[in-house]
């Protein structure tokens, strides 16, 4: 039987998704459910002086209007050790950002709740907000942590090394606010039953959600159940627990009915996080041959006045290139905004933009090919920790990518290629993202009809987790994929980490592999010990399983099915549970996924209109678990890179600190017309250190590098260096 892992197995949940049978959070049929609508603030800074709810309460079907005056008092709403942000849940009258939740209207129907919300009369006392990346007057400060890393690092003496470098470059790069905008909005259904709380929640972390909500409501964790079998995208925004989850549970307890709360699209701008705006200063010092002597990367980002989150953009500079002197720093300024949060490849997407553009600028200054400059500064081990790479195929990515793209034909000077009215340019950049893995558990159960059921608590956020775990389980037991049923998204199943940091496949996948392998060993043991089995006393290493059949690999036809073995022994099923966790290898190796991206752009010579016309990406991702979903993830990340580079900008009116394009009509994400031919491939060499599956995470890898490749191509096309994202036509005119 051919191995399923690595094949292009179609998504096992695909039919359910395209036919509407897959139940997302708001689709769950809950008896007696009522509807809640969130009301958010019209000002960014000040106080609610009063809320007149009389007209709202007079609407037929309205059951309750919750405000800071009558909301239940809660505890432990501040930022917690699990990375959950501070929650504002109607505990006081203070307004700390625009679009902050200030009331919840609950009614029998959604239409009644909306009408009630519309009729609320709110009186404010407004204060002047303060926003912007202004580090003067002592506003900037060092963050407490940077994604569990130190905020600052130093190796060698950077100031001296820069001063002594024959070639130096220094530039400032900025990135805009970005809002995640998954297709499925944030949603929660909360139901109480005799002190037990069930949450159907659109979340990337059901166990983190359970723990946080239990703490807030003073419950034992086993009194909270979280269900999330399908998530319609999250991109980081559905990782933390946000106010609406707590407010839905509060409202459900208040009216003693199950409550469904679904955010409207404008409410996705603020209350559930966004990528922080950054200002990054990169300084490079080099010898005339391109050898780096110094790297300095400083990141300034915005956070809210009531919480702290750092966009960790200086992290790539710590490890990507060899340099005897290096320094990285992170600083924050407080603004009257909602707390920023994890957005796909947090820090690494924005940080590689600045670093890789700086490397391109240095290459032009030195008259070196950008690939050659990177090859000359290839780090044979992690410069930051001194650890060897678990694997690093970056040089192979350069070689294959350059060949597939035709890099050798690149014009040696910027601004010289034309195709009619279009200026044409080519650019490249490096992709990199850490390889993460956390402790996870899984349960596997083989039934006497030969079917295998796998239970694992992780959630499928659209990346193909159901399919990959099916392949892993089927291979481990030696049965067809059609005989495997994977159950996900319920805290009643074995615990797994959050679906973030591109770690789900390595974490949950390893647990499934271990559980099913243990089950296979038990099935084999029972066959060898059973005098009625054809495999009685056959040496263990001679017993194989294929297509659900145990057989003696030395004797053709000698064997029996797993189903017949269990039926004869009177067992309805056998089960095994496994806990899988990373070991000492995490401290012995530096683990990253790598890639090289190439972009071709066309810029209208008169109008400045920018079109990405071609992209090539080659990635070092370890072992491929499913070539179909792998390609989808890589293409999706590169498309995100187009958005980061050219279109996505959450525009804030600094006078009132309000988002002015809080909808999908004005917040521009790449659509089909913006996405060119995207050619992706991968090396596929297994990484034997990162996990038993030898696979690295890919969900966030491909967004890194893509914006810089596009920006570098725009410089090659026009001769104008734009260092501020997104790059729009006004910046080229």
Supply the DSSP symbol for 719: S
- Domains 343-436+589-731 and 438-581 equal at CATH topology level: yes
- CATH topology for 32-128+183-233+238-268 is Aldehyde Oxidoreductase; domain 4 (3.30.365)
The SS3 assignment for 469 reads helix
Kindly indicate whether the domain formed by 438-581 is annotated with CATH number 3.30.70.260: no
pLDDT at 138 (0 to 100): 62
Strand 34-40: give its sheet, edge to edge. 62-66, 101-107, 34-40, 259-262, 187-193, 196-201, 224-227
Place of tokens 């394009």: 661
pLDDT at 148 (0 to 100): 83
Task: Say if residue 726 is preceded by a cis peptide, omega within 30 of 0.
Answer: yes
Kindly indicate whether the domain formed by 343-436+589-731 is annotated with CATH number 3.30.365.10: yes
Bridge partners of 173, per DSSP, are: 280
Rounded average pLDDT per 10-residue block, the chain, 733 residues:
91 96 96 98 98 98 98 93 88 98 98 98 97 77 90 97 98 98 98 98 98 98 98 97 98 98 98 98 98 98 96 98 98 97 97 99 98 98 97 98 98 96 98 98 97 97 97 97 98 97 97 98 97 96 95 93 95 97 96 98 97 98 97 98 98 97 97 96 95 96 98 98 97 93
Q: Do the Cβ atoms of 270 and 97 come closer than 8 Å?
A: yes
pLDDT at 137 (0 to 100): 55
On the 0-12 / 13-18 / 19+ scale of CB atoms within 10 A, 193 is exposed
**What confidence tens digit (pLDDT) does each residue in 274-294 have?**
999 999 999 999 999 999 999
**Distance of alpha carbon 465 from alpha carbon 527, whole angstroms:** 32
Q: Do the Cβ atoms of 534 and 557 come closer than 8 Å?
A: no
Supply the DSSP symbol for 321: B
Its pTM stands at 0.97
pLDDT at 136 (0 to 100): 58
Structural domain spans, the chain: 32-128+183-233+238-268, 343-436+589-731, 438-581
Q: Which of 664, 183, 179, 693 is nearest to 461 (CA)?
A: 183
Start-to-end CA span in the chain (Å): 60
700 is catalytic: yes
Supply the DSSP symbol for 646: I
Q: Which residues contact 561 (CB under 8 A, 6 or more apart)?
A: 450, 548, 549, 550
Pick the catalytic residue from 302, 455, 514, 700: 700
Give whole-number Cα distances, 400 to 373, 397, 422, in Å: 17, 5, 28
């Amino acid at each position: 039987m051919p191995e399923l892992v690595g094949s292009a197995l179609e998504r096992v949940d695909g039919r359910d998704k395209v036919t509407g049978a897959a139940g997302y959070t708001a689709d769950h049929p809950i008896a007696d459910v009522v509807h809640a609508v969130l009301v958010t603030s019209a000002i960014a800074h000040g106080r609610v002086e009063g809320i007149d709810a009389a007209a709202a309460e007079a609407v037929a079907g309205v059951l309750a209007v919750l405000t800071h005056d009558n909301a239940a008092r809660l505890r432990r709403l501040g930022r917690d050790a699990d990375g959950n942000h501070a929650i504002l849940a109607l505990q006081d009258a203070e307004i700390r950002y625009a679009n902050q939740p200030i009331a919840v209207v609950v009614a029998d129907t959604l239409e009644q709740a909306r009408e009630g919300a519309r009729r609320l009369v709110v009186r404010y006392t407004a204060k002047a907000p303060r926003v912007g990346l202004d580090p003067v007057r002592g506003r900037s400060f060092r963050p407490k942590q940077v994604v569990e890393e130190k905020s600052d690092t130093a190796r060698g003496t950077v100031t001296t090394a820069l001063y002594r470098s024959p070639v130096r470059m220094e530039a400032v790069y900025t990135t805009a606010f970005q809002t995640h905008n998954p297709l499925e909005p944030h949603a929660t259904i909360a139901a109480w039953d005799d002190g037990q709380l069930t949450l159907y929640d659109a979340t990337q972390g059901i166990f983190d959600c359970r723990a946080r909500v239990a703490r807030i409501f003073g419950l034992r964790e086993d009194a909270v159940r979280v269900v999330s079998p399908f998530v319609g995208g999250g991109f980081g925004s559905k990782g933390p627990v946000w106010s609406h989850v707590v407010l839905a549970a509060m409202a459900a307890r208040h009216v003693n009915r199950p409550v469904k709360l679904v955010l409207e699209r404008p409410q996705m701008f603020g209350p559930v996080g966004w990528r922080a705006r950054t200002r990054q200063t990169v300084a490079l010092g080099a010898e005339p041959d391109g050898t780096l002597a110094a790297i300095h990367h400083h990141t300034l980002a915005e956070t809210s006045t009531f919480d702290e989150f750092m966009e960790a953009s200086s992290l790539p500079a710590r490890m990507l290139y060899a340099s005897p002197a290096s320094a990285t720093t992170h600083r924050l300024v407080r603004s009257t905004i909602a707390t920023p949060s994890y957005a796909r490849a947090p820090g690494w997407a924005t940080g590689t933009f600045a670093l890789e553009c700086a490397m391109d600028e240095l290459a032009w200054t030195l008259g070196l090919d950008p690939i050659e400059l990177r090859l000359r500064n290839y780090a044979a081990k992690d410069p930051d920790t001194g650890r060897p790479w678990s694997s690093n195929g970056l040089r192979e990515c350069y070689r294959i990518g350059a060949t597939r793209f035709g890099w050798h034909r690149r014009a040696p000077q910027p601004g010289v290629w034309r195709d009619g009215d279009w200026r044409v340019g080519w650019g490249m950049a490096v992709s990199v993202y850490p390889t993460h893995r956390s402790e996870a558990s899984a349960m596997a159960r083989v039934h006497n009809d030969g079917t295998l059921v796998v239970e694992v608590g992780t959630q499928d956020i659209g990346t193909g987790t159901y399919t990959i775990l099916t392949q892993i389980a089927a291979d481990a037991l030696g049965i067809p994929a059609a005989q495997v049923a994977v159950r996900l998204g319920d805290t009643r199943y074995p615990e797994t980490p959050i679906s973030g940091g591109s770690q789900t496949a390595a974490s949950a996948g390893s647990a499934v592999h271990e559980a099913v392998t243990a089950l296979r060993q038990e099935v084999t043991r029972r066959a060898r010990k059973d005098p009625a089995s054809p495999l009685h006393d056959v040496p263990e290493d001679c017993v194989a399983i294929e297509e659900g059949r145990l057989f003696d690999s030395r004797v053709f036809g000698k064997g029996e099915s797993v189903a017949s073995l269990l039926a004869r022994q009177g067992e309805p099923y056998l089960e095994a549970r496994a806990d899988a966790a990373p070991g000492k290898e995490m401290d012995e190796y530096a683990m990253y996924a790598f890639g090289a991206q190439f972009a071709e752009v066309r810029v209208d010579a008169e109008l400045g209109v920018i079109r990405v016309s071609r992209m090539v990406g080659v990635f070092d991702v370890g072992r491929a678990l499913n070539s179909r979903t792998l390609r989808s993830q890589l293409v999706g990340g590169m498309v995100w890179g187009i958005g980061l580079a050219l279109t996505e900008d959450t525009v804030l009116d600094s006078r009132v600190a309000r988002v002015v394009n809080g909808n999908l009509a004005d917040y521009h994400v790449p659509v089909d017309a913006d996405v060119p031919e995207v050619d992706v491939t991968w090396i596929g060499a297994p990484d034997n250190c990162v996990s038993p599956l030898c696979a690295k995470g890919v969900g966030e890898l491909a967004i890194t590098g893509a914006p810089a490749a596009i920006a570098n191509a725009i410089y090659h096309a026009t001769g104008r260096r734009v260092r501020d994202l997104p790059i729009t036509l006004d910046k080229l005119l």
